[in-house]
Structure 1
Amino acid sequence: MTRFGYTLMTEQSPPLSLVEQARRAEAAGFDFEVSSDHYFPWLSAQGHASYAWSVLGAVAQATERVELMTYVTCPTVRYHPAVVAQKAATMGVLSQGRFTLGLGSGENLNEHVVGEGWPSVDARHEMLVEALEIIRELFGSDMVTYVGRHFRVDSARLWDRPETPVRIATAVSGPKSIERFAPLSEDLVAVEPNADFVSTWNATQGAPRIGQDARAIGQIPICWDPDRDAAVQRAHEQFRWFAGGWGVNADLPTTAGFAAATQFVRPEDVAENIPCGPDLDAIVEAVSAYWKAGFTDIALVQIGDESTGPFFDQAAEPLLAKLRDAAPGS
């Protein structure tokens, strides 16, 4: 069964709006909700970057059914992994077992703020492996001491843990990261519909199998609006950073850097890569790339602050109906 989620973009909406969007997304019938965890927006035009964990705590009380998830948290620079474990366990309790901890190796944009520098890709992956080991140990043990190359933990314990252990989903970008992270994770996270990610994960020794014990969770931006021109303009204003790809996006440190890197990206370039406007069938076609690649869960990013937008009033329910009609097993 293919499941569909809604993204709470901390970069494009204030915190109270995010909580209201979470409530409305649940009422519209979304299966799960994911939250970004940013210190900076990608572009200044987005204008927001509230603390994801406070927002998620409020969302856990404003919703009853939907699963919740970070998409994704970096547990290596801005946060120590032992603190991330505590936050995730608390969210597991507050949500009564509805929370999945999504983890990744992070972006310079959000991690540079603590002044510790930005490690190389290899170092970031080493750090994430250690963080995964620490978090998993804390989820399952009463007292943890850990000595690694990058992190130390001294006699740490999680005093409040949910009855059902928090699932860990880890972002991957290729075979090397899958080989490292899959045996330490329950679920896969990716932002491109790459079938090789799913097959490589399933072939990795010690990894849970996607489609059986594990999920493959993807994310795709859309910009629904009754006016296509308005949708294209909004997508260009707020989401042209997406054109850089993650090789660039992971390393730029400021919104000014993203603005400069994307200054020559035109509105029509954005519209070629992001479905914009009122055509629900075009959105379904774009989303279908994920389930065709073997992804089980797909989170939509509706571009723009939906506190006053028409998405939930006009588009959310019919879009979900079309997606479920088209997706396998839905």
Structure 2
Amino acid sequence: MRIGYFLSCEEYTPAQLIEQAKQAQDAGFQSLWISDHYHPWNDEQGQSPFVWSIIGALSQVVSIPVTTAVTCPIMRIHPAVVAQAAATSAVLHDGRFVLGVGTGEALNEHITGERWPFAEERLEMLEEAVGVMRELWDGGFVTHHGKYFTVDQAQVYTRPPEPPKVYVSAFGPRALEVAARIGDGYVSTMPDAEMVSRFRDLGGGDKQVQGGFKGCWAPTEEEGVKTAHRLWANSGVPGELSQVLPSPKHFEQASQLVTEDMTRSSVACGPDPSKHAAQLEAYEKAGFDEVYIANMGPHYAELMEMYRTEFL
């Protein structure tokens, strides 16, 4: 199982993200995830730069693969524009760019004022969007009049020799079927062996499966718990709330239901590598090909050093 580093655009400035990417490559991480948000989950995180600018900058400082985790190409940005952005990114990264996609969250996608669709509708939109992007990557002028999207005589001129791979995020049974059918790979944030097995049985075969989790390096476990809870208590918000809440303020309200003890039990906090080892082992046993670790808080250099000496 390969180990990569997860760049959290919600928490760090552009300069810090570039610094982390360079440090991650130097430490021996084999690839990068990067989140694609318009808003952070809460005001305490405080950042959210435009991911395509960061991806372009990354191409000048690292040579390891980069995957968006994940981009929603159905509302905030039209799939024809995402197709152009992904193609340019693949050219800049010499083919080492993967477009991770999903059905998104209202938090980021409602900003244009469009109605937030139901989950089944968003899946239909995602499938059509991926089809539009693949057609544009094939070259030539494209005109498309679909159920959800229209493309009028568009052509992506700057394209890599091979189209970008598309990995699909999925959590429910219907989404998993779509991911297995249209994706070049599968993305999840849960070490669920049953989901991996079902993805492969539904048609995923030997396609790549990526997973990821967050940790919080700190000098002590207690400091790590407090930092993780202050910045990322939203990770404990259950069910579909994370998909439907429209603003950071709403996540802050919902996160009041998440206690420090809940954060302590779910996040690898502090300097102990054994907690990270347990997380990595869970993903490995579940059948993941790649797993990505993100740091919460200011001690990302220390987390990378721990991974360099203990795991990489």
The bucket for the TM-score relative to the shorter chain is over 0.9
- How far off its partner does 1:305 sit? 4.1
AA at the equivalent of 2:46: G
Query: Which range moved further: 37-46 or 141-150?
Result: 141-150
2:135 pairs with 134, 137, 154, which one?
Answer: 137
Query: In structure 2, what is the equivalent of residue 93 of structure 1?
Result: 91
What are structure 2's unaligned runs of at least 5 residues? Answer: none
Post-superposition offset of 1:70:
0.5
Aligned-partner SS, 2:59: helix
- Residue of structure 2 aligned with 1:281, choices 262, 274, 297: 274
Distance 1:172 1:144 in 2: 28
Q: Distance in 2 between matches of 1:282 and 1:135?
A: 40
- Asked if structure 1 preserves the Cα contact closer than 8 Å seen for 2:218 and 2:299, the reply is no
> Do 1:13 and 1:305's aligned partners in 2 also have CA atoms closer than 8 Å?
no
Find the aligned partners of 1:198 and 1:94 in 2 and give their Cα distance: 31
Letter in 1 for 2:149: F
Supply the AA of the counterpart residue of 1:4: I
> What displacement does 1:93 show?
0.4
The whole-number CA distance in structure 1 between the counterparts of 2:72 and 2:298 is 24
CA distance in 1, matches of 2:17, 2:239: 25
Question: Counterparts of 2:109 and 2:298 in 1: how far apart (Å)?
Answer: 24
Residue in structure 2 matched with residue 173 of structure 1 by the alignment = 171
> CA separation in 1, counterparts of 2:172 and 2:299?
33
Q: How many Å apart are 1:197 and its aligned residue? A: 1.8
Q: Look up the match of 2:222.
A: 229
In structure 2, what is the Cα distance between the partners aligned to 1:29 and 1:301? Answer: 15
What residue in structure 1 maps to residue 38 of structure 2? 39
Alignment of 1:82-161 (within 5 A): 82-161=80-159
* Partner in structure 2 of residue 15 of structure 1: 14
Q: 1:12–1:305: 8 Å Cα contact kept in structure 2? A: no
Deviations 1:261-317 (A, max 9, x none): 11132212101001111110111102211111111110111112457x5333x4231
One-letter identity of the residue aligned with 1:294: G
Q: Indicate yes or no: 2:258 matched with 1:265.
A: yes
> 2:237 touches 2:258 (CA, 8 Å); kept in 1?
no
Q: CA deviation at 1:246?
A: 5.0
Cα pair 2:33 2:67 within 8 Å, conserved: yes
Segments of structure 1 that go 5 or more residues without pairing to the other structure are: 322-330
In structure 1, the partner of 2:187 is: 189
Aligned positions, number: 312
Distance 2:310 2:248 in 1: 32
One-letter amino acid of the counterpart of residue 31, structure 1: Q
**CA RMSD of superposed structures (Å):** 1.4
Q: Structure 2 vs 1, CA of residues 87 and 306 (structure 1 numbering), >3 Å: closer, same or farther?
A: farther
Which residue is 1:242 aligned to?
Answer: 235
| Equivalent residue runs for 1:72-83 within 5 Å | 72-83=70-81
Distance 1:305 1:160 in 2: 38
Match of 1:294 in 2: 287
CA contact (8 A) 1:90 1:160 kept: yes
Report how far residue 228 of structure 1 moved. 1.4
Percent identity reads 36
Contact 1:29 1:320 in 2 (8 A): no
Residue pair 1:34, 1:68 contacting (<8 A) in 2 also: yes
Q: Tell me, what secondary structure is at the counterpart of 2:156? A: coil
CA contact (8 A) 1:170 1:181 kept: yes
Distance 1:305 1:15, change over 3 A: farther
Matches within 5 A, 1:29-68: 29-64=28-63, 66-68=64-66
Tell me, in whole angstroms, the C-alpha distance in 1 between the residues paired with 2:261 and 2:199.
35
Q: Deviations over 1:155-214 (max 9, x none)?
A: 21110111232110000112211222322110001111111222222222xx3423xxx1
Runs of 4+ in 1 over 4 A off after TM superposition: none
Please name the residue that 2:205 is paired with: 209
TM-score between both structures, scaled by the size of structure 1: 0.91
Q: Give the secondary structure class of the aligned counterpart of 1:310.
A: helix
Name the CA shift for 1:167/1:45 in 2 (closer, same or farther; >3 Å). Answer: same
Contact 2:134 2:163 in 1 (8 A): no
Q: Note the C-alpha offset of 1:141.
A: 3.3
Q: Distance in 2 between matches of 1:63 and 1:119?
A: 37
* Aligned residue identity for 2:205: R
* Whole-angstrom CA distance in 1 between matches of 2:29 and 2:238: 27
8 Å CA contact 1:220–1:287 kept in 2: the answer is no
